[in-house]
């Protein structure tokens, strides 16, 4: 793979198929890539920090692609109907129409929000993902799940709306704060844990290179994670069954994010905690060996990710999980590991086991 030019990966969804371009220095070619895939006039949705760090590079790279910028404050709390409504209003004020292209230039929050706005504005306009965080590059920018949060649960209001293109420039990851970079590694570990024991081995062996943000290591990780996600999405675009495998660690993780009002925990940190909880529950049910559980925790620790949920009340976690959109009749469904690379979907866990598992990884009474 040429890191300078990047290489394209196809997400094969028939007429909704699109390419993911992965490599270093891709912002410089963004205009050509977008014009070929989506159109000639757009609106870049981003936040002030990304605009300050990378806005000029993108503006130069857009070239003949005419784009105006819509700024959104940073933070998970911006993923709201209120912020989406403000963007609808701004698009109308600036003369956006059904041929306009929305460019999501940021992390998962910007991608989910801008994608949701694209899915709903004038019954759906084209959008392009230019993810600027590791978490967005390995996970949230691919697959077309877009949405906003509701006070009762994360991502409760949303749609499936596939992008026309994803441009993952690994160069931009060098400007991420350490904590923001690490949370992306949690989603990468999740991807390896659900589907690819070889990738899990590779991450274990290359943890140091990934921690120091080696460009080649990052590009390989992003590409392999995108390949896995593209395959899962191709098999089950609208999450009717097998795509639920991507929710490993998310049942408890989303509950923890919701309980902390999306303020103190990063999404990837919550997923790391959720994976550890799910692995413990799987071991208590006799699905998973102690060795595999310890291996997962050891890898997360080596990447400086949290491996426990200290102090959060068990009952509060259970209550929040019951209103999760993946729950059926108030009963949360779990994705639980049988081994590294092998998952069991839709597991109903007895409440006593749930409570025991949560307490064993640090939840309080």
Q: Which of 161, 243, 266, 280 is catalytic?
A: 243
Q: Which of 54, 220, 229, 266 is catalytic?
A: 229
Q: Which of 19, 76, 183, 187 is catalytic?
A: 187
Cα gap 356→363, rounded to integer Å? 9
- Structural contact between residues 129 and 112, judged by C-beta atoms closer than 8 angstroms: no
Q: Which of 29, 54, 83, 145 is catalytic?
A: 145
- Structural contact between residues 157 and 81, judged by C-beta atoms closer than 8 angstroms: yes
304 is catalytic: no
CA 322 to chain CA mean position, Å = 22
In the numeric block, the tokens 């024991």 are attached to 197
267 is catalytic: yes
247 is catalytic: yes
Q: Which of 82, 123, 177, 205 is catalytic?
A: 123
229 is catalytic: yes
- Within 13 Å and on the Cβ side, how many CA atoms surround 25? 6
- Structural contact between residues 221 and 210, judged by C-beta atoms closer than 8 angstroms: yes
Q: Which of 47, 182, 247, 257 is catalytic?
A: 247
21 is catalytic: no
82 is catalytic: no
Cα gap 130→199, rounded to integer Å? 24
Q: Which of 3, 254, 283, 333 is catalytic?
A: 254
Cα gap 129→212, rounded to integer Å? 25
254 is catalytic: yes
Q: Which of 68, 90, 239, 344 is catalytic?
A: 239
Cα gap 302→200, rounded to integer Å? 13
190 is catalytic: no
Q: Which of 154, 250, 266, 280 is catalytic?
A: 250
Cα gap 302→211, rounded to integer Å? 9
Q: Kindly give the residue spans of alpha helices, DSSP state H, lying in 19-80.
A: 30-37, 48-62
In the numeric block, the tokens 């991420």 are attached to 176
- Structural contact between residues 267 and 257, judged by C-beta atoms closer than 8 angstroms: yes
Active site residues: 123, 145, 187, 229, 239, 243, 247, 250, 254, 267
């Amino acid at each position: 793979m040429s890191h300078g030019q990047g290489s394209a990966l196809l997400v094969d969804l028939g007429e909704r198929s699109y390419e993911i371009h992965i490599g270093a220095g891709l912002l410089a070619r963004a205009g050509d890539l977008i014009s070929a895939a989506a159109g000639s006039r757009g609106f870049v949705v981003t936040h002030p920090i990304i605009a300050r760090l990378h806005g000029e590079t993108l503006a130069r790279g857009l070239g003949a692609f005419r784009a105006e910028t819509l700024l959104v404050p940073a933070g998970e709390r911006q993923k709201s109907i209120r912020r989406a409504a403000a963007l609808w209003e701004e698009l109308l004020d600036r003369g956006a129409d059904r041929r306009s292209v929305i460019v999501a230039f940021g992390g998962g929050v910007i991608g989910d929000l801008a994608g949701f706005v694209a899915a709903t504005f004038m019954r759906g306009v084209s959008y392009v993902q230019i993810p600027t965080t590791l978490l967005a590059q390995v996970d949230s920018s691919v697959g077309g799940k877009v949405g906003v949060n509701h006070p009762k649960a994360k991502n409760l209001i949303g749609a499936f709306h596939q992008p026309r293109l994803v441009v993952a420039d690994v160069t931009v990851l060098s400007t991420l704060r350490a904590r923001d970079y690490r949370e992306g590694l949690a989603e990468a570990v999740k991807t390896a844990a659900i589907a690819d024991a070889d990738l899990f081995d590779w991450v274990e062996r290359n943890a140091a290179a990934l921690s120091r943000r080696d460009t080649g290591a990052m590009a390989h990780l992003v590409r392999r994670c995108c390949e896995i996600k593209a395959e899962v999405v191709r098999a089950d675009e609208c999450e009717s069954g097998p795509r639920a495998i991507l929710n490993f660690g998310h049942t408890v993780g989303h509950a923890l994010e919701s309980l902390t009002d999306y303020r103190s925990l990063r999404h990837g940190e919550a997923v790391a905690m959720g994976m550890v909880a799910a692995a413990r529950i799987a071991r208590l049910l006799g699905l998973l060996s102690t060795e595999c559980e310890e291996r997962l925790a050891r890898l997360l620790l080596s990447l400086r990710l949290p491996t426990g949920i200290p102090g959060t009340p068990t009952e509060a976690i259970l209550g929040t999980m019951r209103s999760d959109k993946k729950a059926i009749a108030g009963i949360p469904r779990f994705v639980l590991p049988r081994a590294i690379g092998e998952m069991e979907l839709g597991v109903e866990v007895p409440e006593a086991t749930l409570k025991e598992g949560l307490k064993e990884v640090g939840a309080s009474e």
